[in-house]
Structure 1
Amino acid sequence: MREAAFAKQNKDKWLKFESVLRNNIQINPDELSALYVEVTDHLSYAQTFYPNSNTAQYLNNLSVLAHQKIYKTKRESRKRFITFYTKEFPLFFAQYHKQLLIAFITFALFAVVGAYSAATDSDFVRLILGNGYVNMTLENIENGDPMAVYKEMESTDMFLGITINNIRVALFAFSLGVFLSLGTLFIVMRNAVMLGSFQYFFYDQGLLWESARTIWIHGTIEISVIIIAACAGLVMGNSILFPGTYTRLQSFVRGAKDGLKILISTIPFFIIAGFLEGFVTRHTEMPDWLAILIIGGSLSLIIFYYVIYPIKLKRKNEQRLREL
């Protein structure tokens, strides 16, 4: 191929890659990686067939620029940690809103199933929650403190125990995605049925509001991030089911990495949920307005970070790329 034809054929890709590097435009990491590999391949081709040409020199400079950016990022590890949560992850996560929606709908549906089952079968709550928990809660209700279970442990111990347990559940939900997403869906269904039957139990005792204003102080974030962890499991499981143009193994590796990235994003939120359950939920005497404020703020945080912000970043970057 003549040099002019080679340059004309690939010029748009080179200019796009250069603009992304020089203007620090955030794009999908996979797309950035693909551009880098393609440019280095073009450099090798140009050095072979057009040595000492302007094209080879340009591609060499572009590769050097990319190399400098990569190693600069490695040196700025602290900044990298911050940008992961503020830029890289939200932009990356926008592509997986479909899986998030599936996880949410599944959870909501089976929470209703749990509540309905508890309403139609008097033994269902005991079957799901266990006789020990039900009897303890009934005793607490008789003693005038239905939410006493959140006051039994010392705050710090409860915070650590709950946080570790929630992370364990999330890891379980994610890892079971390897079974073609079915394992993840099972974990979602099980937790949803437990929640639905739990809430109906308090409704049946005439304590729906008392229970809701208490457990959702920590449960808003806790349940949300379990759903997000399930989304991570679906990403991994679906990569096996739908490999696209990749081999099934290549697709699985990509899906596992993407799912793990989603899972890592939930860790700060699990810590927040554990803190709320250990130190805040126990204060059942707090006024309703404060409980509602905490619940509303938690829900807003989750919706903004995992839904609204990724969409805004994606649209912003798409607009910048169209302007190149």
Structure 2
Amino acid sequence: MREGLFIKKNKEHWEKIEHDRSANADETASNFTRLVNDLAYAKTFYPGSKITTYLNALASRIYLSIYQNRKDPENRLAAFVRRDLPLTIARRYKMLLFAFGVFVIFFSVGFFSAMQDKTFVRQVLGDGYVDMTEQNIAEGNPFDVYAQTSPFLMWIQIMLNNIIVCIMYFFRGVLLGIPSILALGRESIRIGAFEYMFYSHGLGADAVVTVLLHGLLELTAIIITCGAGLVMGTSWLFPGTRRRFKALQDGVKDGVKIVAALIPVFMVAAFIEGFVTRHYKMPLPMSLGILAACGAFIVWYFILYPFQVAAAERKRRAATYE
């Protein structure tokens, strides 16, 4: 087709598209499809023509009107929390479960070692801390250590310390994950010895209820952080069908996702420790209510919800390929 005939045949339609700003979505999509076809034809047969330049500019304008100001159907942060992170947890659950197993084993080691060796608690926690705690127990305020600093200052200090320490635990995991697991083992032994210190004074249940007000979230975050370090460090050992470097990249990305998502958990745990735990003499139902809320969140978001999202994703993919 000669260029003049091509222009004459389509000119009216192009002008309508150019001047009509009230087209609905379906019309706009149809117009854009036709323009792209006309542009492809013009580039093929009239590559240096002004009509090719005109159609290219017109198609670009419509493209921008469709995509430039388009809002994402879901906020990126919301998508991360609702989909990306749960899928990552479900994909890496074996490593996180292994980290939990390490915690249980070494917590038991710390508890029963303190039971067998009366000096073990002091070796692990230090004489100063043990002497202070025993003095508080003798005075009838066994958990007064949580009330010796202003709530806000305590919140900030604990939050920053826990975040920094756990980021260090995570990045140490680059060495096959071994340093992360060793760090988790040491922390678990300390916690086991700490619990026995109160248990030996007949305050085991009180320690569980009081310390877990903030400790349930805090310990969960520490375990998952060290599990994320294991994910990163072992990813290149088990690359599957991927190249080892690509597997390492994926492991680092997944680990960073997990650790980044735990920062709010550390913030909330530190807030509870700074503002709530100091009131350890609160009515038992109130303490149990806080524990139940924290426990329900952990079980739902870190155990049940990831597998629900993963199952929905598998169904979606299966429907796509049918």
User: TM-score normalized by structure 2?
Assistant: 0.76
Q: Give yes or no for contact 1:220–1:299 (8 Å, CA) kept in 2.
A: yes
The answer as to whether partners of 1:129 and 1:198 remain within 8 angstroms in 2 is: yes
What one-letter code is carried by the residue in structure 2 that aligns with 1:226? I
Does the 8 Å CA contact 1:169/1:226 hold for their aligned counterparts? no
Given that 1:217 and 1:277 are in contact with CA atoms closer than 8 Å, whether structure 2 keeps it comes out as yes
The equivalent residue for 1:7 is: none
Residue 229 in structure 1 maps to residue 256 in structure 2: no
Query: Residue in 2 aligned with 1:100?
Result: 96
Aligned 1:221-300 pairs, distance under 5 A = 221-300=217-296
Work out the CA distance in 2 between the residues paired with 1:303 and 1:186: 25
> Could you tell which deviates more after superposition, 311-320 or 183-192?
311-320
| Map of 1:113 onto structure 2 | 109
CA distance in 2, matches of 1:299, 1:140: 29
Equivalent residue number for residue 322 of structure 1? 318
Deviations 1:63-108 (A, max 9, x none): xx9xx98x889x7599111221122211232101111110001001
1:147 to 143, 147, 168: 143
Which stretches in structure 2 are left out of the alignment for 5+ residues? 1-39, 45-62
**1:209 aligns with one of 205, 212, 224:** 205
Give how far 1:223 is off: 0.1
What SS does the aligned partner of 1:116 have? helix
Unaligned runs of 5+ in 1: 1-46, 52-64
Instruction: Give the superposition deviation at 1:245.
Output: 3.4
Greater alpha carbon shift after TM alignment, 143-152 vs 233-242: 233-242
Alpha-carbon deviation of 1:241? 2.2
Structure 1 window deviating more from structure 2 (234-243 vs 297-306): it is: 234-243
CA–CA separation in structure 1 for the residues paired with 2:72 and 2:143: 47
Give deviations 1:232-253, integer Å, cap 9, x for gaps: 1011011132233334333222
Matched, 1:311 2:307: yes
In 1, Cα distance between the equivalents of 2:87 and 2:120? 43
CA distance in 2, matches of 1:196, 1:72: 56
SS at match of 2:202: coil
Q: Cα–Cα, structure 1 residues 176 and 120, in superposed 2: closer, same or farther, change >3 Å?
A: same
Q: 1:317 to 1:248 in 2, by over 3 A?
A: closer
Aligned residues: 259
Q: What residue in structure 1 maps to residue 216 of structure 2?
A: 220
- Equivalent residues of 1:140, 1:146 under 8 A apart: yes
Shift of 1:169: 2.2
The separation in 2 between residues aligned to 1:77 and 1:158, in whole angstroms, is 40
From 188, 191, 197, the equivalent of 2:193 is: 197
The separation in 2 between residues aligned to 1:77 and 1:114, in whole angstroms, is 50
Picking from 157, 176, 181, the partner of 1:180 is 176
Describe the shift of the 1:243–1:322 C-alpha distance in structure 2 as closer, same or farther (beyond 3 A). closer
1:195-247 Cα deviation digits (max 9, x unpaired)? 11100110001111221111000000000010110111011011132233334
Larger radius of gyration, structure 1 or 2? 2
The TM-score normalised by the length of structure 1 is 0.75
Q: Give 3-state SS (helix, strand or coil) of 1:240's partner.
A: coil
Q: 1:72 to 1:291 in 2, by over 3 A?
A: farther
